[in-house]
Amino acid sequence: MNGFLKFSILMIACSCWASAANPTIKSAWADADPTLDTDPSSRFWRGAQSAYMDRDSHGKPDPSHRTEVRARWTNRNLYFLFVCPYQELHLKPDPQTTTETNELWKWDVAEAFIGADFKDIKRYKEFELSPQGEWIDLDIDLHSPHHEDGWKWQSGFEVSARIDKATHLWYGAMRIPYSAVDSRPAAAGNILRINLFRSQGPPSAQHQIAWQSPMSDSFHVPERFGLMVLVKEKP
């Protein structure tokens, strides 16, 4: 076997291993930024591929809280839609939706952790929204002993949310400026590091739901992130 063939086989093997080791979400391109909405049947969200959060923080299946997530991108923004089944809501009294809510993670939330730095994986951004339309964004630096101080950062992201009590579902949508998470222009082929989470229910019966289980009581385990690739073809 010649050297070139050996090298080719090695590259194919490494590529297959990486694909298996790094679960990937495809974010589908849209040619224009829409009005932010939470309707999964809208034209915009019908063009997105679905991923699912269906395990707890330690990898145990949680089928009653299986959460659908859809992702899209434009030249300016990233979009996420969360479809969240619930048994019991745990909501902050007197919600404020015009300014961010520090420590929102103590209540029901859906979260996206997104990083573009593959050399320093302890640096990434965190985005949260609640069923009531509250929000917070954080610049996470796990080198810092108080990474929660990153909530003072402002990304300019927007949210929309609604609760359907009849079906025990709540819906949340995010619009995140691409420049808030990556120094590169948004482009097909860009790959981001990502994980997705939910906290649902009161402390006595809380469900911690993950796309890629961190295998920890903390969501902040960047070694367990998956990937998101921006694509232009239909998902």
Q: How buried is 132 (Cβ within 10 angstroms: 0-12 exposed, 13-18 middle, 19+ buried)?
A: buried
Distance CA 211, CA 112 (A): 10
**pLDDT at residue 10 greater than cutoff 60:** no
Q: Which residues contact 224 (CB under 8 A, 6 or more apart)?
A: 195, 212, 213, 214, 215
Domain at 38, CATH number = 2.60.40.1190
Task: Establish if 143 belongs to a structural domain.
Answer: yes
Q: For the chain, how many structural domains are there in total?
A: 1
**pLDDT at residue 126 greater than cutoff 50:** yes
User: Residues 136, 92: contact at Cβ < 8 Å?
Assistant: no
Task: Establish if 2 belongs to a structural domain.
Answer: no
**What pLDDT is recorded for position 148?**
67
Q: Which domain holds residue 179?
A: 24-231
| pLDDT one-digit tens code per residue, 158-208 | 999 999 999 999 999 999 999 999 999 999 999 999 999 999 999 999 999
What confidence tier does 4 reach under pLDDT thresholds 50, 70, 90? very low
Task: Establish if 82 belongs to a structural domain.
Answer: yes
Considering Cα of 99, then 102, then 107, then 111, what sign does the dihedral take?
A: positive
Task: Establish if 16 belongs to a structural domain.
Answer: no
Task: Establish if 3 belongs to a structural domain.
Answer: no
**pLDDT at residue 112 greater than cutoff 70:** yes
For the ranges 10-14, 179-183, 220-224, the lowest mean pLDDT is seen at 10-14
Task: Establish if 163 belongs to a structural domain.
Answer: yes
User: Residues 28, 73: contact at Cβ < 8 Å?
Assistant: yes
HSE value, Cβ hemisphere, 13 Å, CA-based, for 216: 9
| pLDDT one-digit tens code per residue, 136-164 | 999 999 998 776 667 789 999 999 999 99
How is residue 207 written in tokens?
Answer: 């469900």
What percent of the chain clears pLDDT 90, i.e. is strictly above it? 85
Q: Which residues contact 131 (CB under 8 A, 6 or more apart)?
A: 84, 89, 91, 108, 161, 162, 163, 170, 172
User: Residues 201, 212: contact at Cβ < 8 Å?
Assistant: no
Task: Establish if 18 belongs to a structural domain.
Answer: no
Q: Report the predicted TM-score, pTM, of the whole model to 2 decimal places.
A: 0.89
Find the mean pLDDT for residues 27-50. Answer: 96
Distance CA 222, CA 235 (A): 26
**Residue 202: Cβ within 10 Å count:** 12
User: Residues 113, 186: contact at Cβ < 8 Å?
Assistant: no
Which stretches within the chain are classed as H helix?
3-21, 43-46
Question: Which DSSP state fits 35?
Answer: P
Task: Establish if 7 belongs to a structural domain.
Answer: no
